[in-house]
Amino acid sequence: MTFTRAEIPDIIIIEPTVFGDNRGYFVETYKKDLLEKFISKKIDFVQDNESMSSFGVLRGLHFQIPPLSQTKLVRVTKGEILDVVVDIRKNSPTFGKHISIVLSDKNKKQLLIPQGFAHGFVVLSENAIFNYKVDSKYSPEHERGVKYDDKFLNIDWKIDKDNLILAQKDKLLSSLVDIGDYFSELS
């Protein structure tokens, strides 16, 4: 298992070792001790989630505010997505910056997304199954988001805007400058 810091160093790209032969493959997708050693802190995932989406579905950019903010460990078990993570810590030197990475069942890459980041993805394949662990339970009262097409972020979602499929709630999200300062202690 290889851990690499992304351009925004708090985001970790995880590439598991795949053991394959003529029968198929085996892969360890999560090793708590190795992850905690790399990030130099304890993590306690409390919930696993899975979603299935079709081509063009864009989910995000979501986050939860304290005290139920979330660290996420995300991966794709079927299909391919473009995963996008935005730094929303207003005192951070990388505030408003984002990274984009393709996650797929082929490359088996994963992302560790710490608290203080908004997260979203768009499906690039016919459909995709997306799995993620979180260290705090889902709470609709604490859920917030940033508009996927915020001009300040200028995210290239790799799909024509006319082909994107969004939930109504995602169409109504705030711009980055209007989301508030929930994560100043994390910067």
- 98 counts as catalytic: no
135 closest CA partner among 113, 168, 158: 113
Catalytic residue among 62, 119, 138, 148: 62
Residues 165, 166, 171, 174: is their CA dihedral positive or negative?
Answer: negative
N-term to C-term CA, the chain: 28
- 30 counts as catalytic: no
61 closest CA partner among 88, 80, 21: 88
Q: What is the CA radius of gyration of the chain?
A: 16
Catalytic residue among 98, 132, 148, 182: 132
The set of catalytic residues is 62, 132
